[in-house]
Structure 1
Amino acid sequence: MPSENTASAAASGVSVVLVHGAYADGSSWADVIPLLQDEGIAVTAVQNALVSLDDDVAATRRALDLQGGPTVLAGHSWAGTVISEAGAHENVAGLVYVAARAPDAGEDYGALAGRYAAPPASAGLVHSRGFAQLSEEAFLADFANGVDPRRARVLFAVQGRIADTLFAARTSHAAWRDKPTWYAVSKQDRTTTPDLERFLADRMGATTIEVDSGHLSMVTHPREIADLILAAVAHVRGAVGGR
């Protein structure tokens, strides 16, 4: 049964849009989605092409256009860049970052990340004809560390290949400067350095949790990630109800 807070959130029309990161697709949220739906929340998962920031932002905005009211926008990994830009949408009332990038407007995120130790996964990129993917070894050991090996191999099979130029894109907007934020740090992350995640969460003044997981916390710890998103939904519901 939905809790009182989340039932009220659903009644107020608060919805959730989930955005996946690089080397993944929308199915990476498959364990979180039913937990949100069980609480009466309308959920949409975006499918990103991972070819350009503009394309991924456009896909996210199309999903936001379909929402009937205030929306919590959540992004994992690369999608933190996407939601920082797309979060300017009028329907977005809160942002949730899951082991995610969170660049400032115009910021060279690569230079920022370069101030921290290089995560192991970055050594496993395989490039071909303008696109890149993680090798199976790097995917299983560094991107999906902590995931059941059988499940991890499925995720490897559906991994989203990224354009070589994807990570060089810069945002023109940082929605986290204008809207309430939440952040889930992955303490065992081998794809994004945990100390970088902590810096980003602190810089945006986010309500922060730390999850004892690798990069794919929404796969290994879906309850914790769903609860963080539900906390954002409850906050938005309170803000809407207080108007």
Structure 2
Amino acid sequence: MKTIKPQIWMLSIAIALSGCSSVPEEESTFSESKVSDPFESFNRSMWTLNYEYLDPYFVRPVSLAYVNYVPSPIRTGISNFLGNLDEPASMVNNLIMGNGSKALDHFNRFWINSTIGIVGLIDIASEAGITDHNEKTFSDAVGHYGVANGPYVMVPAYGPWSVRETADLVDNMYVPLSLLNFWAGLGKWALEGMETRAALVNQEALLDNSPDPYVVARDVYIQRQDYHAEIETDAYNAEEEALLDEYLEEF
């Protein structure tokens, strides 16, 4: 099965923070014509559920407990291992997008870390100077060629999602993701999600102080989708791109 990316609702907060900390709100969001949100009433209700209840009473404390009590070397090994599972899919999707050099980097990262790095537990490839270009999914690839995001949906307990992301099911076809069963995929999603959430603790106030956190999170989430699909937009200036790229390297 596809190993779900850690795009629980808190990931929308992560992207929102990078936007609202650098530019005024009117410059950090898309125009209404570029964001399809036909279910806004429902989405706002789910945002409230995720942001005001699930996070403070479950996701945040569990994530902090994981980070605070699991030794750092163990967490690093787990993170390296899970990230290594995405390398073949990223290789194929970069090839589809015409990024030959990036595809080669993902190929080399996978075989080096899977062998010398002990099935990915040690990131030998990064030590050797082979760049990690971040995960690319099949929805990024089709988006690169003009397939729109489609309606935006805030999924309860999971977070932001767009219809185009259904295409990510294609990544099931690539080993080793295709070898994971439901529980393995769920574990990957949970562990990566906890690392992501814990990293945001010091920046929570930025979103809390936003006039409309839902709108900021929604618009920048769609912006991130286009960023990963390597789509240029009028609202995406060079300053934002550099900041967003640096911030998203944490994921």
Shorter-chain-normalised TM-score: which range? under 0.3
TM-score by length of 2: 0.24
- Higher helix proportion, which one? 2
- Higher strand proportion, which one? 1
TM-score by length of 1: 0.25
**Larger Rg, first or second structure (1 or 2):** 2
